[in-house]
A and B are shown apart, each in its own frame.
Chain A
Amino acid sequence: MGIRVISERCNGCELCLQACPFGAITVRKKLAQIDIAKCNLCGACVDACKKFNAIELIRDNVQTFDKSEYRGLWVFAEREGGRIASVTLELLGEGRKLANRLGESLCAMLLGNQSGKLARELIYFGADKVYLAESGQLEVFIEDTFTEVITGLIKEHKPNIVLLGATAIGRSLAPRVASRLETGLTADCTGLEIDAESKDLIQTRPAFGGNLMATIICSNHRPQMASVRPKVFNAAQRDELRIGRIIKYDYKQHTLTQRAQLLAVVKDVAEAANIAEADIIVAGGRGLGNAENFNIIEQLAEALGGAVGASRGVVDAGWIPYAHQVGQTGKTVRPNLYIACGIRGAIQHLVGMRSSKIVVAINKDAKAPIFNVADYGIVGDVLEVVPALTIEIKRRCVKEQESLAVSKSKQEHEFALSS
């Protein structure tokens, strides 16, 4: 495998230089040169040079196999407490569209103990088939046991696509499964499509801390595996009239090894700080001045029924635990409403929150980069603006409840009159 520039044909036009996503090409003395240390052999330059045909990508013969053997879009069903995790419902929603485009079935894998009821739920949410593996050993998630059961199922039924949620569980499990199957895995996808021609899964994901969006394919291996970021796709609609099959998978044919064991779940602030799932996030930064002032963030979050986020600066300063950190080295969030208070907006913070639906920024510096990604900006002192906002929201809430109560009593009154 390799790449070379055919110097007789190259005229130094720089088309390849512009096409290279890796900055691996330089043009000197009207001749393109490829830095092989940077080159990913992606072939973008070859396509760009069609006119002159001066770049040659030497591909080794790829072993072709019958892709049509692999059929069906599978979703790994993650459990959360006694329920199906919301990311799984989102995967079923998007999976349904992709499966229809492929003309293939949508299936779910559910591992657990006495989970028949949840298996039916998966059908209500769109699964045509549910592969159900049940035992006491599968009650709690452990990478070893789940990897063994899932790879067993995949080897037996040969799905085309396998999707998992990019949660703590999904991101720990998926690489083990993909490695055991020797197949491709794309992490943390935010976009999925089916290529009209090849029928391959086109996967889009952020890279370089969100500075780039990469499009990735896995054309010569099956199944095509991807973990998908929560809160990107819409959840499937529940329909109790839907029918499907529940297929019990006899996992006992495997001897499950288990090299890790869950001792305890230390219920922590993480529950309150589950910012990855929150619809509304109020986040505070250095502009608050000190740790004590952080309570105005908490009060606003409480008034809005939202979660508390934080910039790296305040986490590093010890004002609030790491679980609240938004950004590249913290969590990526995508709430409906993100209110950034006293956060300047370093790139590492922006990549963690800029796909939020509505962003409000409050900062005393009108030039702070946070305003570039904000829908609404208020230039002012957070210590003044945030409490005022809390009061206004509370006032509005009370007003609304009053008007609701008024209209309700009106209705009751009218009802009493009419009867």
Chain B
Amino acid sequence: MAQLVEGRTFKTKMNIIVCVKQVPDTLEVNINKETNTLIREGVDTVINPFDLYAVEEGLRLKEQYSGMVTVLSMGPPQVVDTLRQALSLGADNAVLLSDIGFAGADTLATSYALARGVRKIGSFDLIVCGRQAVDGDTAHVGPSLAERLGVGHVSCVMRICEMADGNMTVERMTERGIEQIKLSLPGLITVAKGINEPRPPSLKGKIAAERSDITVWSAEDIAADTNRIGLKGSPTRVVKMTTPEHHRAGQMLEGSVREQVTDLVSKLHQAELL
């Protein structure tokens, strides 16, 4: 599987899998100050913002080279809403990995389940993931999935420069600047914000998405080893969650602009910041 047929050109057809995650709408993540827990009741869920760029990039490649975009996710049954959103944008198929056995998965167990899902979907040329999910912020799942599938990856892609037979050229952002990298295909990229401007869903797309079926696979369907999924397959464990106190007893400066500015510079000077 995951083999690219020798000599195939992308002008004929390209199999793209886009991985998406459903996340809480973080604007509305609130903490119950008494119990120190996340208030999840009534919190809307959205598609992870970075994954919207991944979906868009997948769709653009499909439009340019023709082919198929399959969106893949893992999570509770309500994630079908997120997948439907991707379908409404133009994705062809959607697969949800949903099983009580997947619950409590860390990034290692998540990438294992996703890899099993990809295997069942079949061959692919390119997997596109968002750079990271905004709830966990780990940026692990993309590279980890590539490792499990035995393909190369490039993280934090800002631009796809070129698609060719068996490879693609991309630009990634690093601390040192922008690197141009040639990646063998099949392969995996994670995309950063700024790679594109995601399209809004169309009414027609929405209606079509409402009518389309979403494939749901259990752990058994993807022949997952029960020791490697969910909490059992997760080496890391969250043992505590606390809310950091960030409020500062700030000082509002007073007087004319000139006075305030002079005062500020003196204070910064005293703090040896200048």
Contact = CB atoms under 8 A, between A and B. Distances in A.
A186 B139 CA distance: 10
Contacts of A60: 232
A214 B241 contact: yes
Given A42-B239, A171-B155, A218-B237, A212 B38 contact: yes
Interface stretch (B9-17, B58-66, B214-222, B254-262): B254-262
Interface in B214-236: 230-232, 234-236
A196 interface: no
B204 interface: no
B45 interface: no
Given A1-B230, A374-B250, A380-B257, A393 B274 contact: yes
Interface string A291-306: 0000000000000100
A185 B143 CA distance: 12
Contact of A329 (B50, B156, B179): B50
A377 B153 CA distance: 45
B143 A175 contact: yes
A253 to B, nearest CB: 20
B126 to A, nearest CB: 13
Interface stretch (B86-94, B116-124, B169-177, B205-213): B169-177
Contact of A372 (B179, B250, B251): B250
Interface string B1-40: 0000000000000000000000010110101101111111
Contacts of B106: 184
B67 interface: no
B250 A371 contact: yes
Given A212-B38, A263-B169, A220 B182 contact: no
Interface residues of A, number: 110
Given A276-B175, A377-B252, A214 B260 contact: no
Which among B26, B169, B172, B239 has the greatest number of chain A C-beta atoms within 10 A? B239
B235 A373 contact: no
Interface in A251-279: 258-268, 270-271, 274, 276-277
A366 B148 CA distance: 52
A187 interface: yes
B273 A18 contact: no
Interface in A178-229: 178-180, 182-188, 206-221
Contacts of B238: 21, 40, 42, 214-216
A160 B265 CA distance: 48
Contacts of B231: 1, 40-41
Main secondary structure of the interface of B (DSSP, over half): mixed
A337 B273 CA distance: 7
B196 interface: no
A77 to B, nearest CB: 15
A392 B256 CA distance: 14
Interface stretch (A67-75, A88-96, A232-240, A354-362): A354-362
A168 B237 contact: no
A211 B29 contact: yes
A374 B164 CA distance: 51
Interface stretch (A98-106, A120-128, A381-389): A381-389
A348 B246 CA distance: 14
Interface stretch (A31-39, A241-249, A402-410): A31-39
A65 B120 CA distance: 33
B257 A215 contact: no
A316 to B, nearest CB: 9
Interface in B43-69: 49-50
Contacts of A184: 106, 108, 234-236
Given A182-B108, A336-B273, A389-B261, A266 B26 contact: no
A172 B156 contact: yes
Contacts of B49: 329
A115 interface: no
A409 to B, nearest CB: 23
B111 interface: yes
B31 A212 contact: yes
A166 to B, nearest CB: 9
A384 B172 CA distance: 38
A407 B32 CA distance: 58
A397 B246 CA distance: 32
B55 to A, nearest CB: 16
Contacts of A374: 248, 250
Given A212-B241, A329-B134, A80 B38 contact: no
A182 B235 CA distance: 8
Contacts of A36: 100, 103
A258 B34 CA distance: 52
Contacts of A323: 173
Contacts of B241: 21, 207, 212-215
A393 B265 contact: yes
A386 to B, nearest CB: 9
A268 B107 contact: no
A347 interface: yes
B160 interface: no
A258 B151 CA distance: 10
A389 to B, nearest CB: 5
Nearest to B39: A23
B248 A359 contact: yes
Contacts of A396: 265, 269, 274
Given A179-B148, A213-B244, A219-B237, A380 B179 contact: no
Which A-B residue pairs are the 7 nearest by beta carbons? A259-B152, A184-B235, A21-B241, A187-B138, A215-B240, A221-B235, A168-B174
27 contacts: A143-B143, A168-B155, A172-B139, A175-B143, A175-B147, A179-B111, A179-B147, A187-B137, A207-B136, A212-B243, A213-B242, A214-B241, A216-B238, A216-B239, A259-B152, A260-B183, A265-B176, A325-B193, A329-B193, A347-B26, A372-B248, A375-B251, A377-B251, A378-B261, A380-B260, A389-B261, A393-B265
Given A41-B231, A171-B139, 5 more contacts: A265-B180, A276-B175, A388-B257, A388-B258, A392-B265
